[in-house]
Structure 1
Amino acid sequence: MRDRLILLPGWGLGTAPLEPLAEALRGLDARLRVQVEPLPRLDSGDAEAWLDELDANLPEDAWLGGWSLGGMLAAELAARRGERCSGLLCLASNLRFVAEVGWPAAMPAETFAAFRQGCARDATATLKRFALLCAQGAGDARGLSRQLLGAAPQESAQRLLSGLDLLAALDTRAALQAFVGPQLHLFAGLDALVPAEAPAALLELLPDVEVGLIDTASHAFVLERPHEVAAAIQAFLHEAGDD
């Protein structure tokens, strides 16, 4: 099923931000079956539990991709599946979301800790702030943040916190090094959540993977610029021999 692509969404905002991208991809290639699948709804931040659920419910022998947290999970699942995964697409996904000594090109740990504390106090206000951060750098940042927030599902504070704990714990470096299939990593030029140094750090670790940049775009470029992102993905799929 190398003509099937599964896309996973990011934290807190549901599947709606990926639908315009999926539609754009279908418009470029009617043979490509694109599915946007929700993340597991778990009250635990244990990565293995999330991956077990995804592995049990997603088709095998498909391309795996995702936006932000979804891309990190897709990377881990691709490594787990090996040859049962056709390839990997990571969209505005850092290898680590939270910085550490070995990966400084990420959000400072103290910034993330303050964000998590804010979510524990007021999840609704934190989600609104997150939507604004996702849209920062867009031509119409407020309009884009309203779009993101307007379609977001109602989730309990505990589930949102579990997702943040997962985001803080994930480190996809080993998974990306282990996965031998084709990889495309697309970054946004004005991303407020993934530092500009992340693409270079990725290429230093994995010089043979494909890395692209959508200039003057926000973290939410999957919704802001779906046709440009779709064109980059389609070009990569064609290059990988799937056209």
Structure 2
Amino acid sequence: MLSRLIIEQPNRPKLTFIHGWGAQNSVWQDWAQQTLGAYFELHLIELPGFGQSNAVASQANDQMLAQTWVDAILEAMPQKSHLLGWSLGGLLAQQIAIQQPERVQSLICLASTPRFTQNDDWKWAVSPKLMADFMRSVQADSAATLKSFWTLQMQGSEIPRQQIKQFVQRMQDYQLPTLSGLTQGLRLLKYFDFREQANELPMPVLWLLGEHDPLIPQAFIAEFSTIQRQAQVKILAGAAHTPFASHPQQTADAIRHFLAQR
């Protein structure tokens, strides 16, 4: 079973957190507990090969790999809860909501979209070349690659430079993910594509995006509300790819406001 942290709050709604690529529960545990812990019972799940979670056996087929990860998350999460996924975690949360909607009361995708990488008819995403470069870099020097990635995630945040340096240093102090977890996660970022299913989800959905996210083109952010007709879309002014770190209260307020309507 995956490593998980449960911050119990009897008689409160359950809120499950799935972190992004290169991270672990520690990246947002304090923020979640300080800003949301009084209102929800928090369930923080660490992805395979990240934090204290063991890696899962690799699969040659991306679909099988995705199912292996999703099954592991489903085993670790409550039988029914609100579901919050950040970046890669948002894609995994979408897969769970599509596959087992009865277990998801509402879905929040933080700094996440229905598809992470570009193809011929989807330009609002990360280029295949960048993904290939990341895969090569991770295999050559995962520590250096992660440092660059953590710095990239904060680019565009309207916060003091020293705060960005502190975030990157804090991430470097954590236990490094396994190489298997990193490479499998990159495969899933390239594989997942929920553009068709995202408009058909039966539960309430919130897309919570940073105004200056370097991994989500601004043109897409501006048009996203017209694409997601059945969902709520909120743009966090001044934030980038890690809104909970750069704009902690604004991010928490948006989540609480959305869930208060449920």
Q: How far is the alpha carbon of 1:84 from its aligned partner?
A: 2.5
Runs of 4+ in 1 over 4 A off after TM superposition: none
Output the CA distance in 1 between the equivalents of 2:224 and 2:57: 31
Residues 1:91 and 2:110 are matched in the alignment:
yes
Q: How far is the alpha carbon of 1:124 from its aligned partner?
A: 1.2
Residue 244 of structure 2 corresponds to 222
Q: Which residues of 2 match residues 124-139 of structure 1 at below 5 A?
A: 124-138=143-157, 139=159
Residue 144 of structure 1 corresponds to 167
Q: Which residues of 2 match residues 1-243 of structure 1 at below 5 A?
A: 3-26=13-36, 30-40=38-48, 41-44=55-58, 46-138=65-157, 139=159, 140=161, 141-151=164-174, 153-240=175-262
Whether the aligned pair in 2 keeps the contact of 1:24 and 1:226 (CA below 8 Å) is no
Output the CA distance in 2 between the equivalents of 1:216 and 1:8: 23
**Residue identity matched to 1:62:** S
Q: How far is the alpha carbon of 1:148 from its aligned partner?
A: 2.8
**Residue identity matched to 2:257:** A
Whether the aligned pair in 2 keeps the contact of 1:106 and 1:194 (CA below 8 Å) is yes
Output the CA distance in 2 between the equivalents of 1:183 and 1:2: 20
Whether the aligned pair in 2 keeps the contact of 1:144 and 1:224 (CA below 8 Å) is no
Structure of higher RCO (CA pairs closer than 8 Å, 6+ residues apart): 1
Output the CA distance in 1 between the equivalents of 2:56 and 2:143: 18
- Segments of structure 1 that go 5 or more residues without pairing to the other structure are none
Instruction: Classify the secondary structure of the residue corresponding to 2:106.
Output: strand
Whether the aligned pair in 1 keeps the contact of 2:12 and 2:41 (CA below 8 Å) is no
**Residue identity matched to 2:47:** L
CA shift in 2, pair 1:11/1:228, >3 Å? same
CA shift in 2, pair 1:23/1:2, >3 Å? closer
Output the CA distance in 1 between the equivalents of 2:79 and 2:196: 21
**Residue identity matched to 2:76:** N
Output the CA distance in 1 between the equivalents of 2:246 and 2:170: 10
Q: How many residues align?
A: 237
> C-alpha offsets along residues 80-100 of structure 1, whole Å, 9 cap, x if unaligned?
111321010110012211111
Output the CA distance in 1 between the equivalents of 2:197 and 2:68: 16
The 10-residue stretch of structure 1 (194-203 or 103-112) with the greater mean CA deviation from structure 2: 194-203
**Residue identity matched to 2:207:** H
Whether the aligned pair in 1 keeps the contact of 2:211 and 2:221 (CA below 8 Å) is no
TM-score computed with the length of structure 2 as normaliser: 0.84
Output the CA distance in 2 between the equivalents of 1:128 and 1:176: 32
CA shift in 2, pair 1:182/1:117, >3 Å? same
CA shift in 2, pair 1:31/1:203, >3 Å? closer
Q: How far is the alpha carbon of 1:200 from its aligned partner?
A: 4.1
Q: How far is the alpha carbon of 1:173 from its aligned partner?
A: 2.1
Whether the aligned pair in 2 keeps the contact of 1:43 and 1:162 (CA below 8 Å) is no
Q: How far is the alpha carbon of 1:210 from its aligned partner?
A: 0.5
Instruction: Classify the secondary structure of the residue corresponding to 1:154.
Output: coil
- Segments of structure 2 that go 5 or more residues without pairing to the other structure are 1-10, 49-54
Q: How high is the sequence identity, in percent, across the aligned residues?
A: 30
The 10-residue stretch of structure 1 (217-226 or 71-80) with the greater mean CA deviation from structure 2: 217-226
Output the CA distance in 2 between the equivalents of 1:55 and 1:188: 28
> C-alpha offsets along residues 15-57 of structure 1, whole Å, 9 cap, x if unaligned?
1222133124435xx2411221111233535111111111122
